A and B are shown apart, each in its own frame.
Chain A
């Protein structure tokens, strides 16, 4: 059974995963028995009652109320069991323990951001202590996203202007995949992340080190720009090696003449780059779609200067 589970389901990373899996197998195996049973009956009928001559006359059998009731009531009992069991597990998924450690999650096109109680902030990687319930309070800056960790058997949509909650308890330290499960635009499939489950001590150390936000501002501008490029998932759409992705490449961009879709040509200077970050739809490069979300208000001047400095290094 465990071997079978490994083939079909991801490893069980949370305390609730096992209950979900048991139910998963109960419904699938009952369904399999029903499917095989019905197929065997049909195959048997087809062989046994194969047409021998065109003049064959069949008996008149119109209905049988006992049978109708039997095959209505038995499935009804079965689905009621599955319904009750499913709802019970669901309620446990929904009921957050009181001592849960709270992390705020912010989703945006196309990256995950995490804020911790001491002001620490991380992008893409969610750090949590092992063996302790963790509650995520989630909201979105733009469209609907969905926070999905297959190993925890958990998923919850993340909505703009609203807060949704989810909780889990991951007993084993390790790294678990985060997906965005609600289609959110061009970079949807790149909106990935990792839950880093650490031993409580290690987690505390990490948390303390990142207290009050990333120490990023101490970095030289070009290094800071590179860090933002990776953390804010700019790399989803913009390459640094000249290859064409969803957006134009950054290689050789600075100072070049850019052909726009409205036929005009502009020089890619500091103002152009700043405008492209804050109002991406103001100037669309020829051959590309206006799909970039606006980052207005998300970056400080230092950070935007960092991005510009980084682009300048990409000759």
Chain B
């Protein structure tokens, strides 16, 4: 066995190369058998897979509702459902997509699976808390389904008062469901922050953790600080509905605009809770498929943190026409423009990473390029909307609808799909049909633009959102948009089919199918039950493509599977601090 000796400035430890085993016999998927072993698992990878299955289910439920909405909008009057049903559909489409798909998509599903492996840890810091997060999510989802069955909700996902106080639909149950899901989100955030602080492998300094981990770190901070405010707000709405305490309802002496302040204090950071993990995926994929060191590691890492910070100070840009003071609008407009700067820095750094790279256009990178274009359009139209004078005209029109779908679907869903394709071999140990994947990426990209570009135009012309009926001049735009929605739906369905098919008939995936330097690709595919059979030692950053691959596969010599006492002895005698160049 090859043994290398690395020196540090003070202490020495023995390291050796651990080449990942190809086609391993034992891995996390077959370590235990039976449904019960899945439902009670403490393994972060299995919890990640549970999340993945759940969010996929809710993504298709929410997507089906989107198709019903688009179908209804084929004609200016009732097409196949009534106004009340339509209002319930867009409320549920928004709530399900945001609370049950987007928020947990990258952090709880992909992040749970990948983060500990990227950090060189055996699990997250609190595995039981992790399982609790999942069950809180499922409980919350079940309560939301109860709300749908007991009459639905017709307030829009924003639950604006006083309408949400006065409507007779199941708002109380629904907000309770969202309240519970919020705690799932908070606990995941606590878990990730602790894991990133305390569970990093020897040698993994803050400058050597992956940008995906940095993005999850920034996301977790926002989850912990913002989500409690949503919980408080929804609890106040429930108090008002059940006990008649006057907080938001003016007929009880409350202030409806106060609700909007409190709601957006959570929900604007929530936008970044949804998109920042996507930024992390972009950094991983773009470096791997251009075999190049990331350009501006610290610029990208710190811009995630500054986005997290500024995101708490911009909520008022949702309220330019709500009746808030002109002074407040000015301040919020200014701060909103400031979020554009770190976001722009990221885009430029990613583009610069491609310079002199070795670029291979595989499906994950294609999805990232889809992200690039769509997120850029979403970002630029965001600049338009932060301009107070323009927002007065565009607020609550289809322009806003198109803008946030470009950011959330064009940005986040594309990044999620990129990450899913990138890590799929690691998760399942199987390769999907690459040709089909490239074709579908194109179909989704075109379908998306056909759906949402016309919405910018009709929004600028004045088409308000959440309209069941509309005036006839908008019909051509709505019809093009509906056709696009079906293309988009078909695209997502094909992805689902070929990914599921690959589990049964796909080729076996090698440990490192993309030639990545990331730590998660230095372990076998699928990942072993305890991630590493040794204690990994980190000497290079995850994007040091100029260094040979074997220097990324180091571990403490003779550390075995990490369960033996000899390991502890080695660590103690040699000290934990390892600094290597």
Contacts and interface: CB of A to CB of B under 8 A. Distances in A.
Interface in A2-48: 7-10, 19-20, 23-24, 27-28, 31-32, 34-35, 38-39, 41-42, 45-46
A245 B469 CA distance: 12
Contact of A180 (B354, B395, B464): B464
A180 B291 CA distance: 53
Interface stretch (B10-18, B34-42, B50-58, B333-341): B333-341
Contacts of A83: 333-334, 337, 386-387
Interface string B376-419: 11001101101111101101110000000000000000000000
Q: Which of B83, B290, B465 has the most CB of A within 10 A?
A: B83
A190 B77 CA distance: 10
Contacts of A231: none
B83 A187 contact: yes
A160 B162 contact: yes
Nearest to A151: B462
Interface stretch (A52-60, A112-120, A204-212, A266-274): A52-60
Contact of B84 (A7, A153, A289): A289
B573 interface: no
Interface stretch (A65-73, A97-105, A216-224, A252-260): A65-73
Q: Which of B251, B323, B373 has the most CB of A within 10 A?
A: B323
A76 B457 contact: no
Contacts of B60: none
Contacts of A234: none
Contacts of A39: 372-373, 376
A61 to B, nearest CB: 6
A159 B151 CA distance: 27
Given A45-B355, A181-B464, A155 B393 contact: yes
Contacts of A94: 326
Contacts of B396: 146, 148, 155, 181-182
Interface string A147-177: 0101101111101111010000000000001
Contacts of A51: 291, 358-360
A200 B508 CA distance: 80
B514 to A, nearest CB: 11
29 contacts: A8-B461, A27-B387, A28-B380, A31-B384, A35-B376, A38-B348, A38-B376, A45-B354, A46-B369, A56-B291, A58-B293, A60-B293, A61-B292, A61-B355, A63-B299, A71-B344, A71-B345, A75-B340, A83-B337, A86-B388, A87-B389, A143-B256, A160-B251, A179-B462, A181-B396, A185-B154, A186-B154, A291-B154, A291-B167
B82 interface: yes
Contact of B392 (A52, A154, A162): A154
B84 A291 contact: yes
B293 A62 contact: yes
Contacts of B242: none
A177 B471 contact: yes
Nearest to A82: B387
Given A86-B333, A164-B323, A61 B295 contact: yes
Contact of A153 (B82, B251, B386, B392): B392
Contacts of A38: 347-348, 351, 372, 376
Interface of A: 7-10, 19-20, 23-24, 27-28, 31-32, 34-35, 38-39, 41-42, 45-46, 49-52, 54, 56-64, 67-68, 71-72, 75-76, 79-80, 82-83, 85-91, 93-94, 142-144, 146, 148, 150-151, 153-157, 159-162, 164, 177, 179-190, 192, 244-246, 281, 289-291
Given A50-B359, A159-B256, A246-B82, A87 B323 contact: no
B257 A159 contact: yes
B135 interface: no
B390 A8 contact: no
Contact of B330 (A87, A164, A180, A291): A87
B326 A90 contact: yes
A63 B168 CA distance: 58
Contact of A160 (B256, B295, B373): B256
Given A8-B457, A42-B369, A56-B291, A144 B162 contact: yes
Contacts of B298: 63
Nearest to A32: B380
B411 to A, nearest CB: 14
Contacts of B351: 38, 41-42, 45
Nearest to A44: B354
B492 interface: no
Nearest to B249: A160
B166 interface: yes
Given A143-B162, A164-B323, A289-B168, A61 B356 contact: yes
A154 B460 CA distance: 12
Contacts of B383: 27, 31, 79, 82
Q: Which 8 A-B pairs have the closest CB atoms?
A: A150-B462, A86-B387, A31-B380, A89-B389, A161-B250, A189-B467, A45-B354, A79-B337
Nearest to A138: B323
Interface in B451-475: 457, 460-462, 464-471
Nearest to A67: B352
B297 A157 contact: no
A86 B295 CA distance: 34
A28 B250 CA distance: 40
A161 B294 CA distance: 55
B87 interface: yes
A155 B321 contact: yes
Contacts of A246: 82-84
Nearest to A149: B462
B466 A188 contact: yes
B321 A146 contact: yes
Given A45-B357, A79-B340, A183-B156, A23 B390 contact: yes
B545 interface: yes
Given A38-B376, A58-B357, A150 B389 contact: no
Given A75-B340, A183-B466, A20 B163 contact: no
B486 interface: no
B184 interface: no
A20 B393 contact: yes
A63 B297 contact: yes
B515 to A, nearest CB: 7
Given A38-B347, A188-B468, A189-B469, A143 B330 contact: no
B390 A27 contact: yes
A87 B376 contact: no
Nearest to A293: B166
Given A42-B354, A58-B356, A63 B546 contact: no
Contacts of B355: 45, 49, 61
B321 A183 contact: no
B316 to A, nearest CB: 13
A7 B466 contact: no
Contacts of B395: 155, 181
B462 A183 contact: no
Interface in B433-458: 457
A281 to B, nearest CB: 7
